């Protein structure tokens, strides 16, 4: 395979992953708002089923190596923290933002996480932001204002709950990205995320038992649920990781911003979500922060803030 063909394959894999993720968010909105599914049940099922499938697939490749993460007390504490404060928090806040708003706005707001990471790194290192970081923060603020006010500063165009959960989702994703750096280096993404999902699902089962179902089943709702688990979680994650063999992680992270664009388009076309010019401008402002941040990656313990983007 030539370098050009290899790069093309990597780009296709990233784009497929982003489109699958966007579809999962849109279908989650359909299940919650149109079929009465509870976000708690959806979160628990997604974590349990996808986590178990990831570990089973990884076991066929790595065999007993998937258990090595439990041999170190420090790593056990770290994976437990990642599972609860990272994995569960990201899943629940994202689905809550969809419930009270829509998939498009929830996905775009979650993409504020790279800017939150930049601000954290700048603050931790006690340095003034460079020009790229400063521009990224300003674009993120401007984009968020346009997205949530419809360009009218007199009030919000989305509910306060949708805004709260969307911003919280961005902070949760920032922690989700930063916390497991050492775990990822030791055990790989599939093992860490697989255990994170499974443990998070088991823990969340005590909050909402997986057998406590709310909603209406139909052929369409069942198909949507299967899509979220198989395509929107398992295959999307696998394709995104597989793309690292062909393109740099920084390139993959930038290309993955197709996700909020796709989520916005799908929401407008199929769920009839109102998305005007101010919202589209705000969306592009927020997405531009990914490209701006990638101009001069900020190193964090050997990893760029845009280099390791473990998606939900």
Strand residue runs (E) in the chain: 299-300, 303-304
CB neighbours of 195 closer than 8 A, spacing ≥ 6? 51, 55, 66, 69, 79, 83
Mean pLDDT per block of 10 residues along the chain (312 residues) reads 76 86 91 94 94 87 82 94 93 93 86 81 77 77 76 68 92 87 84 92 94 92 94 84 72 70 82 80 79 56 44 54
pLDDT given at position 44: 94
**Secondary structure letter of residue 101 according to DSSP:** S
pLDDT given at position 118: 78
- Our count of domains for the chain comes to 1
Distance from C-alpha of 7 to C-alpha of 92, rounded to nearest angstrom: 34
193 is a domain residue: yes
141 is a domain residue: yes
> Do the beta carbons of residue 299 and residue 77 sit within 8 Å?
no
102 is a domain residue: yes
Range of the domain at 188: 25-214+261-304
304 forms beta bridges with 299
Which residue blocks in 63-112 are alpha helix, DSSP H? 73-81, 89-100, 103-110
Nearest to 176 by CA among 251, 264, 88, 247: 88
11 is a domain residue: no
129 is a domain residue: yes
280 is a domain residue: yes
Long-range pairs of 126-134 with CB within 8 A, sequence gap ≥ 24: 130/296, 132/292, 132/293, 132/295, 132/296, 133/293, 133/298
175 is a domain residue: yes
9 is a domain residue: no
Which residue carries 């790989």 as its tokens? 188
Token duo for residue 83: 């599972």
- Strands 303-304 and 299-300, bridge-based pairing: antiparallel
**Secondary structure letter of residue 234 according to DSSP:** I
Distance from C-alpha of 120 to C-alpha of 129, rounded to nearest angstrom: 11
pTM: 0.83
> Do the beta carbons of residue 82 and residue 180 sit within 8 Å?
yes
Nearest to 305 by CA among 189, 173, 131: 173
How large is the C-alpha radius of gyration of the chain? 19
> Do the beta carbons of residue 297 and residue 304 sit within 8 Å?
yes
Distance from C-alpha of 118 to C-alpha of 306, rounded to nearest angstrom: 9
In degrees, to the nearest 5, what angle opens at C-alpha 288 toward C-alphas 283 and 294?
Answer: 145
pLDDT given at position 301: 43
């Amino acid at each position: 395979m030539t370098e050009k063909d290899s790069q093309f394959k990597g780009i296709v894999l990233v784009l497929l992953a982003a489109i699958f993720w966007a579809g999962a968010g849109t279908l989650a909105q359909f299940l919650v708002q149109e079929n009465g599914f509870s976000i708690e049940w959806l979160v628990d099922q997604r974590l349990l089923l996808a986590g178990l499938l990831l570990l089973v697939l990884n076991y066929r490749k790595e065999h007993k190596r998937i258990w090595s993460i439990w041999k170190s007390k420090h790593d056990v504490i770290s994976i437990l923290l990642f599972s609860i404060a990272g994995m569960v928090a990201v899943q629940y806040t994202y689905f809550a933002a969809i419930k009270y708003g829509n998939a498009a706005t929830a996905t775009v707001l979650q993409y504020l996480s790279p800017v939150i990471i930049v601000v954290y790194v700048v603050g931790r290192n006690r340095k003034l932001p460079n020009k790229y970081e400063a521009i990224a923060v300003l674009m993120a603020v401007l984009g968020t204002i346009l997205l949530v006010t419809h360009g009218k500063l007199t009030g919000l165009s989305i509910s306060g709950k949708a805004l709260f959960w969307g911003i919280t989702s961005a902070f949760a994703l920032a922690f989700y990205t930063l916390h497991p750096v050492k775990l990822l280096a030791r055990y790989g993404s599939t093992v860490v995320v697989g255990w994170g999902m499974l443990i998070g699902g088991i823990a969340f089962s005590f909050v909402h038992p997986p057998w406590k179902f709310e909603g209406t089943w139909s052929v369409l709702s069942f198909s949507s649920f299967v899509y979220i688990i198989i395509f929107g979680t398992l295959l999307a994650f696998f394709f995104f990781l597989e793309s690292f063999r062909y393109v740099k992680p920084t390139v993959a992270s930038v290309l993955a911003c197709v996700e909020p664009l796709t989520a916005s388009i799908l929401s407008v076309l199929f769920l009839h979500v109102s998305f005007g010019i101010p919202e589209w401008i705000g969306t592009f402002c927020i997405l531009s922060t990914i490209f701006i941040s990638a101009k001069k990656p900020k190193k964090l313990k050997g990893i760029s803030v845009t280099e390791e983007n473990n998606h939900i």
